[in-house]
A and B are shown apart, each in its own frame.
Chain A
Amino acid sequence: MEMTQTSSDLLFLFAACCGLLIIATLVGEVLQARLHKTRANLTVETYLTRVHSWWGMVFLFSIALLVGPVGIITLFAFCSLAALREFLTLTTKTNADHWSLIASFYLILPFQYVLIWWGEVGLFSTLIPIYAFLLLPILSVLRGGEGADKNFLARISETQWGLMICVFCASYIPALVTLDIPNYGDRAPLLIAYLVFVIQMSDLMEYFTGRRFGRRKVAPAVSPKTREGIACGAAFAAALGLLLTWMTPFSPLASIAMAVMAYLVGVGGSLVLAAIKSDRGIKNWGHLIPGQGGFVDQLDSVVFAAPVFFHVTRYYYGG
């Protein structure tokens, strides 16, 4: 089979991620062997569980990207399903919302991804913000029943918010493959890898530096993130943006700007979702990814950044 440039680039990225993970795994195993039988090595155990989850995610994500648009769209459709389930589990709802919840899961979610598969930008960017926004409350009010007006605004808003974050925003990640960028050819899957890689790595950087040097918390009520940590994360995002320019249709400077923008929007997203968690009195959104919590925990920053990244790219680079 002849290998395209895009596939070989993706395989290169995959190998690079495996390299990083091998180092991470070795460090963890060595630490664990040293600490064995001495002090509590719960931190190391947690760290290793996380690394194992990372292995899984890297493999799944790489396979999906190599399969092409169908693979990546299917993968994210399932991620959306898991995320929406986590989100709507915690929202305000009554029996009167049964139809609108059914419609959210079984109609709107799959249809959004079908529209992305068809590449209908005009439709997939309006399905949830316009049609679902207007139609679901109608379903809830028509369904009626006893106490159907109780907390009505809170119920319809929270359902809509779940759809926006877990379906609409998340679907913009695979939507990047539908972008038709001149002189970029079929390299769009690389743009997805770029977005996810830059944000996740800079988040990790922010986490470690914030733990070490962080002083001034940006949102002390909900999150341990500090200005110092975020500054380091942004600097790291800039460096990665420059280093990974080859993956993108951007110029080196533009790539730095895009990486920093995506990272900062992502930080905002993870703060917003942390505030929701804190209000609902939970630590994690779910339990499906060992060591990391739920899908919403894993995707929080990327889903916030994806629509902005998509529309900015489309505005400046789209054909």
Chain B
Amino acid sequence: MRRFAASIVGQLLIFVGQFITAARADWRGIEPVPRQRIYYANHSSNADLPLIWTVLPAAIRRNTRAVAAADYWLKNKLRAFIGRDVFHGVLIDRRAEHRTDDPIAKIVQALDDGSSIIIFPEGGRNRTEDPLMPFKAGLYNIAQQRPEVDLVPCWIDNIAHIMPTGEVIPVPLACTVTFGAPIHVGETEQKDAFLSRASDALLDLIPSRGQA
């Protein structure tokens, strides 16, 4: 019953997403095949996760879990239902003092179970003027523990204009998610070098548009 409701809500979200933003995936650096991957994306709006989720082909989506903030998604029953049952969230508490288990271990466990994951390595919504905030160490730690899994950069375009932070009504602008070529962590690569390389790979996907 719960699963059925989750799939209905999921389809509904996809429909709304498609109708409002005509959301589209641009598979620029990698094919949309059901292989295990870590999709990492820029994060500026609450609509980011539903959006990536909408543009993934159904076969991939079924086996993909989102790494999301427990302190956000467990706040009420509706959010918990959407976060857990619809997005199959791997819920991590961003407040270290509230944690009972190791977040990285939890994510690696999800990978070992065969799932792909979606992660926002900035660690929260970007409210600055810069296109990306510095990445948190999590992406590096996961990549180091499971170096064989492809890390796929995903640039979500325009979402900040569709629903700026604090707004309720979305503007129906077109939105594209661009998937770039996968990267892997080098055997001897240091944390900072890797994180800046991952960040650059994501920035490279920003569509040029004359002026800003």
Which residues from chain A sit less than 8 Å from chain B, CB to CB? 81-82, 85-86, 88-90, 92-93, 95, 98, 101-102, 105-106, 279-282, 286-288
Count class of interface residues, chain B: 10 to 19
Do B24 and A287 touch across chains, with their CB atoms under 8 A apart? Answer: yes
Q: Which of B74-82, B161-169, B185-193 contacts A (4 or more CB under 8 A)?
A: B161-169
Any A CB within 8 A of the CB of B172: yes
Contacts of A98 in B (CB 8 A): 164, 167, 171
Given contacts A98-B171, A105-B171, is CB(A92)–CB(B24) below 8 Å? no
Any A CB within 8 A of the CB of B33: no
Given contacts A95-B164, A98-B167, A288-B22, is CB(A280)–CB(B173) below 8 Å? no
In the bound complex, CA of A282 to CA of B207 (Å):
10
In the bound complex, CA of A105 to CA of B20 (Å):
11
Rounded to whole Å, the gap between the CB of A180 and the closest CB of chain B is 35
- Secondary structure at chain A's binding surface: helix, strand, loop or mixed? helix
In the bound complex, CA of A298 to CA of B158 (Å):
23
* Choice from B161, B167, B210 contacting A280 with Cβ under 8 Å: B210
Do B208 and A281 touch across chains, with their CB atoms under 8 A apart? Answer: yes
Do A93 and B161 touch across chains, with their CB atoms under 8 A apart? Answer: yes
Contacts of A101 in B (CB 8 A): 161, 171, 173
Contacts of B161 in A (CB 8 A): 93, 95, 101
Contacts of A82 in B (CB 8 A): 22
Closest to B19 in A: A81
Closest to A90 in B: B209
Contacts of B169 in A (CB 8 A): 102, 106
Given contacts A89-B158, A98-B167, is CB(A81)–CB(B209) below 8 Å? no
Do A286 and B174 touch across chains, with their CB atoms under 8 A apart? Answer: yes
Rounded to whole Å, the gap between the CB of B174 and the closest CB of chain A is 4
Contacts of A89 in B (CB 8 A): 158, 173-174
